[in-house]
């Protein structure tokens, strides 16, 4: 090979080497520039860390989270079903250090920093964590903290944290907003009942005064039921059941349930005051009954007739100070059926139609108010709530069947909605009440001793007296039913 060829080859190799060197240098420059760019962005992104107001430096972080899942396996099935139970709480593991008189966060003496950090982590309430990358996180508990001090580190203390984000301390409670749903459904039933009444009596009203007299007769029957209920001795005794004080087994029912605040009269109220107020309530019933009969005489004005019916039923209901009395009184009125027409004249069918439609309107108005009263009743146990629910829904079910057979579609649908709301309301409000159970002892013991023995709470002695219905609290029966817990 000639000398010229050798020189040419050497020059080519040198050029390639020079090109490779230049390329490597360019790549290094690009990498350095990218690293500087990333480094600048990162430093601007990272925040100064602290917990409970105590700052610290961070070397490394680790965050855990995800979902709570339950894996269900099934025989002869290749796949599994994963059931999601909600989010896992977020946990933050941080490794950092405390340094004396840090140029980044100050802090002063490293020993004082360690003491303040210990106090923050040992407090019995959540603190605010400023995470270097997540930022400010409220309501964070410190699960553990560990400090490490070494001879070679000098005035630097290594620290490792485990934090967890906590929710608010909220206890499960019954959803009492169902009371509003009952009121809404009851209002819908009263409107639907009047619509069906108008539809069923439109032709009969045209037959003359005898048909109007049938409406008056039906109103008189409802009025007599209401007056009988108002003059009941038990309701009269309940008129003073709101009197402040402990009266043992005498006053119970819906005023002494275990949900909400007992409905007691203001302090200083006397028996004479309550009886005088009750006399006014009974007078309201009489006045509303007279207005109902007057509206029935002019039954062609169906709006006034429907309003008078609602006013009378409401007056009867309001005359009961104890919701338990109101439930009992309205229950007796909810089955009212006017006497059947006996006329054999051509107008007889119109009279019968008016009596049937009036009875249906009265019953459905009573049922609407009964549902509202049941939503104010305070059950004394789960069994008590079930009993009230069964009573109210049983009456509604009977009327639902009547409405279905009569083709009263508006009332039918409204009562189905009312039934559902009553059940949901009583179930929700009785969810936190214990069931009753039977307690048996070898001898008659005082209620105070039994309350301490059963519940470890002597203040529940009055409740035992009411539930056992004893004459004297010092002599409880050897066997009785009371709340299990």
Higher pLDDT, 27 or 372: 372
56 and 97 Cβ atoms separated by less than 8 Å: yes
Mean pLDDT, the chain, rounded, equals 80
356 burial class (0-12, 13-18, 19+ CB within 10 angstroms)? buried
Residue 150 has pLDDT above 70, yes or no: yes
Cα(53)–Cα(118) distance, rounded to whole angstroms? 12
> So what's the pLDDT on residue 249?
53
Kindly tell me if the per-residue pLDDT of 247 is higher than 50: yes
Coil vs helix vs strand at 146:
strand
pLDDT tens column, 160-193: 999 998 876 544 444 456 778 899 999 999 999 9
Name every residue whose Cβ is closer than 8 Å to that of residue 271 and which is 6 or more positions away in sequence. 240, 243
At 292, is the pLDDT very low, low, confident or very high (cuts 50, 70, 90)? very high
Q: Answer yes or no: is pLDDT of 205 > 60.
A: yes
- pLDDT tens digits, 35-55: 443 445 555 556 788 999 899
What is residue 231's predicted lDDT score, i.e. its pLDDT? Answer: 84
Class of residue 407 by CB neighbours under 10 A (exposed 0-12, middle 13-18, buried 19+): exposed
CB neighbourhood size of 344 (10 A): 7
pLDDT for the residue numbered 293: 92
Q: Does domain 49-165 have CATH number 3.30.420.40?
A: no
% of residues, the chain, pLDDT over 70: 80
At 230, which helix (H) or strand (E)? helix 209-230
> Residue 7 CB: number of other CB atoms within 10 A?
10
- pLDDT (0 to 100) of residue 369: 94
């Amino acid at each position: 090979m000639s000398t010229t060829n050798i020189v040419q080859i050497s020059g080519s190799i040198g050029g390639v080497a020079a090109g490779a060197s230049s390329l490597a240098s360019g790549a290094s420059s690009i990498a350095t520039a990218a690293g500087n760019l990333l480094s600048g962005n990162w430093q601007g992104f990272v925040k100064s860390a602290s917990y409970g107001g105590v700052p610290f430096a961070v070397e490394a972080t680790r965050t855990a989270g995800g979902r709570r899942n339950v894996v269900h396996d099934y025989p002869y099935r290749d796949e599994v079903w994963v059931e999601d139970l909600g989010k896992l709480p977020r946990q933050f593991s941080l490794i950092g250090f405390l340094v004396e008189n840090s140029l980044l966060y100050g802090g002063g003496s490293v020993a004082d920093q360690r003491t303040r950090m210990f106090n923050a982590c040992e407090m019995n309430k959540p603190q605010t964590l400023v995470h270097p990358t997540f930022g400010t996180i409220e309501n964070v508990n410190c699960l553990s903290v560990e400090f490490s001090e070494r001879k070679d580190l000098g005035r630097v203390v290594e620290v490792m944290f485990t934090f967890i984000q906590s929710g608010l301390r909220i206890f499960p409670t019954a959803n009492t907003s169902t009371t509003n749903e009952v009121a809404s459904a009851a209002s819908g039933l009263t409107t639907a009942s009047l619509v069906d009444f108008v539809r069923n009596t439109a032709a009969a009203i045209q037959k003359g005064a005898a048909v109007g007299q049938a409406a008056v007769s039906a109103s008189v029957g409802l009025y007599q039921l209401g007056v009988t209920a108002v003059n009941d001795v038990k309701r009269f005794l309940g008129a003073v059941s709101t009197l402040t004080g402990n009266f043992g087994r005498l006053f119970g029912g819906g005023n002494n349930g275990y949900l909400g605040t007992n409905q007691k009269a203001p302090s200083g109220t006397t028996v004479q005051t309550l009886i005088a107020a009750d006399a006014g309530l009974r007078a309201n019933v009489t006045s509303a009954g007279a207005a109902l009969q007057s509206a029935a005489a002019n039954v062609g004005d169906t709006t006034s007739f429907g309003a008078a019916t609602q006013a009378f039923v409401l007056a009867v209901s309001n005359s009961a100070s104890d919701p338990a009395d109101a439930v009992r009184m309205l229950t007796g009125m909810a089955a009212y059926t006017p006497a059947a027409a006996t006329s054999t004249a051509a107008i007889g069918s119109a009279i019968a139609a008016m009596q049937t439609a009036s009875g249906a309107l009265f019953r459905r108005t009573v049922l609407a108010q009964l549902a509202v009263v049941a939503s104010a009743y305070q059950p004394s146990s789960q069994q008590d709530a079930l009993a009230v629910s069964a009573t109210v829904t049983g009456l509604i079910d009977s009327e639902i069947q009547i409405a279905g057979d009569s083709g009263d579609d508006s009332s039918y649908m409204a009562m189905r909605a009312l039934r559902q709301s009553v059940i949901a309301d009583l179930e929700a409000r009785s969810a936190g009440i214990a069931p009753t159970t039977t307690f048996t002892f070898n001898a008659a013991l005082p209620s105070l001793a039994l309350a301490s023995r059963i519940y470890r709470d002597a203040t529940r002695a009055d409740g035992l007296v009411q539930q056992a219905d004893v004459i004297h609290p010092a002599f409880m029966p050897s066997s009785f039913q009371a709340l299990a817990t």
